[in-house]
A and B are shown apart, each in its own frame.
Chain A
Amino acid sequence: METNRNSNIIKLKQNLKYRNILIDAFPLLGLIIIILFFTIITSGNLLTLNNLKIILNQMFLYLIGGLGSVYLYAQGGIDVSMASNIGFSAILGVRIMYQHVGIGIIATLLIGSSIGLLMGIIYAYAGIPVFIQGLAMDFLLKGTLYPLSGFKASIPVPDRLLKFDNKYFAWIFLLIIFIFIFFTYNFSRFGKECRSIGAGEIASIQSGIKVKKNKVLAFFISGLTCGIVAVYTLIRTGSASQSTGLGFNFNVMLSLVLGGCVLGGGNGVKVRNAVIGAVTFVVLQNGLVLCGASARAQDIVKGILFVLMIVFTSKMYERKV
């Protein structure tokens, strides 16, 4: 009987292994399904060279946004004020760029990261729900956008900024960010500590981890990411306005979740979530546009998918752990 039991256990373990592989592969499967679905429905238009270029182009900012958010998400945090941070940094940045383009770019990055720093300090020390804090900051920044833009609908960027629009540089830059984040997130002390905070904050404090410092740093990185996104948005759109960055926080959130990211934090947050998620999200959005779906219809699809994926990933993660 004992041997019978042992062989049962071996079989069970095998099954568990397959199940875990399946759970891990799910976001990738989802991506393939979405690609197939839209390829068929658009009778191949999705995969034309021209459209692939567009997809790649649209993916860029979501990749940066997602990658820059992994530390914060790993801690179980979330930055709801990302969109208005981007808008704020972009508008202020543009005005400085008229004085000097280089200084303006640096200023944009500094403004983004300062807001991140401020958010981080509130996150670490005030002890209010991070979501509420984000909403409050979002409202606050949004309110300043119109006056800051000098009550204009939009401010065009100085021509000299457009010289920075170099595709190769952009993608090399992204690659560097990816490699840096991949290694630091997976193998550095900071990355490991972020995950431990998400999985158990009290136990992390009791293990001597500087939780507050970690929280500030994670938000700082998220803020710096907003600054980078702001600069690239300016370069690509050629102007700053109240709608710069609009919806970015939700889109990043959705793309991370589509990539299999667990919103509770901990080991369920992985770098690949940001990559697979960004691709899935952009293909989805692009596919919907090709199908002729209106912006409102897209939002409805996004909303439904968002809820479904959150339920699904958290349930799967529970099982896996």
Chain B
Amino acid sequence: MEPRTVLKIENISKSFTLTRAVHDFSFELCSGTIHGLIGENGSGKSTLASIIAGILEPDSGKMFLNNNLYNPKSAYDASEKKVTMVVQEVGTIDGISVASNIFLNKESQFQKLGLINFKKMYKAAEQVLDELGIKHILPNELTSGLNFEDRKLVEIAKALVSKPEILIIDETSNALSSKARKILYEIIETVKTSGGSVLFITHDLNELVDICDLVTIMRDGEYVETLEGSEMDISVMKKLMVGREIYDEYYRKDAILNNANQKNKRPILRASKLFSPELRDISFELYQGEILGIGGLSESGMHELGQLLFGLEKPDSGSVEVYVPEKQEMSLIKNSADAVNKGMGYMSKNRDRESLILELSIKENICLPYLRHFERLGLVSKKREEDHSINLCEQFSIKMESIDQYCNQLSGGNKQKVVFAKWIGCDSDIFIMDCPTRGIDVGVKENIYNLMMELKLEGKSIVMISEELTEIIGMSDRVLILKNGGISVEVKRESNLTEQYLIEYMI
């Protein structure tokens, strides 16, 4: 079948009050292809995708779907025209069942005399899930009980039910484990073979090369280039995205652990025999100046472990202790407030909801855990607050209008910089980082890795929980791999450590 143009976009532009998200953008989407879309954070990928999916309305420009003018009024309208999108963040509704989510807006097919036959709907949903090879999600389960990844899968199932001609996937795979990714790739393949087209947005360039037929690169909201087949070279793509040369090796350079340095260092955090619903018998120590990588599948319990270390969750048994310099001894972590007092900082995987308060300013976010240090006669000194945050914002070169700007106006990379500024400003000694580079583009990623090295050299300790093995191998002094809630292997940094070796212990 000869590929034909399914969607044609002509000179689309979209601005938000102060930022120009997409500018004069034109391109074509062909049937039976998987089309990658890449660009740095804030380059306008998600905005473009949202316009195609009918979630946003363009300021100017035209779109044609199968040679007819295409002007979706809403996401519902777009999905009627067989254009659906799986969004970057969670797109499912919490309080209703999995089946109701999958058949959202399509309930009428189960309707009789105005009432929905839920039995029928559950059965249909079960069929859909079975087809996708998703066995562990029940159709009558409440969506709120599912974890992030499973909710993503439900959303993918929902997208597929409408038999889309154009399926847009926005940075979804970043949040998925390899098993779930496999399911996603299968779905993409199905759409492709049935003559539809997939617009695939990702930060993972290796993944992109593997599955996409061609790729379009965006920069600052503008079209840069489309590469096809063998032209899709990772270093070329990076260069086009950033507009300058980026070196492959942005991880730390010292490939082999310097053992001489590691001696005589005392443990600064100790987890002993931690048990919880997600974890079993976790014990380890974190040393001063060490980056400890924790890897595993996303359901392995590693994210829960991060929360436990910081005192956000209580273990069923076992304890977390940290070294308190003032007392010269190890001391138990009781809750998150206690953890902050004892020099810990935590960066959640869910940056927008948990690490930052979007409806507060940059200054307020940075100063929040540190307010007591600005107090004078019971009131917080405005000047100290401002000095503190201005210093940090300069140090991290956060792109902003002023420290009073609200965080919801910042790009993903800048938001993460604010989170770093917050904890570094607190003089934290131990950093628990849960997916610190999730959804962050190459340029800022490099920044963050450099920063982690700086912290390490200052004698700070880092627990880095990550779903990206390359990052774990690239940055850690020591790696723990979690599997089904337990530690399956511990490896020290060495030059010939491979992803394949670690994956063995994950699955």
Residue ranges of A at the interface with B (Cβ–Cβ < 8 Å)? 5, 9, 12-13, 16, 183-184, 187-189, 192-193, 195-196, 199-200, 202-210, 266-267, 321
Contact = CB atoms under 8 A, between A and B. Distances in A.
B321 to A, nearest CB: 17
A110 B340 CA distance: 34
Nearest to A320: B406
A199 B17 contact: no
Which 6 pairs of residues, A with B, have the shortest CB-CB distance?
A208-B340, A200-B357, A187-B379, A199-B359, A207-B369, A189-B371
Nearest to B408: A321
Interface stretch (B26-34, B132-140, B346-354, B448-456): B346-354
A187 B382 contact: yes
Given A16-B17, A200-B358, A209-B337, A188 B378 contact: yes
A321 B346 CA distance: 26
Interface string B422-455: 1000000000000000000000000000000000
A209 B369 CA distance: 7
Contacts of A210: 337
Nearest to A13: B18
Given A189-B372, A192-B364, A192-B380, A208 B359 contact: no
Contacts of B20: 5
B372 to A, nearest CB: 6
A206 B359 CA distance: 16
Nearest to B19: A9
A191 to B, nearest CB: 9
5 contacts: A16-B17, A193-B368, A207-B336, A208-B341, A321-B406
A204 B357 contact: yes
A188 B380 contact: yes
Interface of B: 17-18, 20, 310, 312, 336-341, 346, 348, 353-360, 364, 368-369, 371-372, 375, 378-380, 382, 406, 408, 422
Contacts of B375: 188-189
A200 B360 CA distance: 9
Nearest to B378: A188
Nearest to A208: B340
Prevailing SS type, chain A contact patch = helix
A207 B353 contact: no
Given A189-B372, A266-B360, A321-B408, A206 B380 contact: no
A208 B339 contact: yes
A189 B380 CA distance: 6
Contacts of B408: 321
B492 to A, nearest CB: 31
B380 A187 contact: yes
Given A187-B382, A192-B364, A207 B359 contact: no
A195 B18 CA distance: 26
Contacts of B380: 187-189, 192
Contacts of A199: 357-360
B337 A200 contact: no
A173 B378 CA distance: 21
Nearest to B423: A207
A200 B18 contact: no
A316 to B, nearest CB: 14
Contacts of B357: 196, 199-200, 203-204, 266
A209 B346 CA distance: 13
B354 A202 contact: yes
Contact of A202 (B341, B353, B372): B353
Nearest to B375: A189
A305 B391 CA distance: 46
Contacts of B312: 205-206
A4 to B, nearest CB: 12
A200 B340 CA distance: 18
Given A189-B380, A196-B357, A209-B368, 19 more contacts: A13-B18, A183-B379, A189-B372, A192-B368, A196-B360, A196-B364, A200-B359, A202-B353, A203-B353, A203-B354, A203-B355, A203-B357, A204-B357, A206-B310, A206-B346, A206-B355, A207-B422, A267-B364, A321-B408
Contacts of A189: 371-372, 375, 380
Given A5-B20, A196-B368, A266 B359 contact: yes
Contacts of A183: 379
Nearest to B372: A189
A13 B405 CA distance: 12
Given A12-B17, A267-B359, A321-B406, A193 B340 contact: no
B360 A208 contact: no
A16 B358 CA distance: 19
A202 B380 CA distance: 23
Contacts of A188: 375, 378-380
A21 to B, nearest CB: 15
Nearest to A19: B17
A288 B483 CA distance: 70
A192 B384 CA distance: 15
Contacts of B379: 183-184, 187-188
A18 to B, nearest CB: 13
Contacts of B340: 207-208
A291 to B, nearest CB: 40
A184 B379 CA distance: 7
A314 B440 CA distance: 31
Nearest to B340: A208
Nearest to A5: B20
A285 B361 CA distance: 37
Contacts of A9: 18
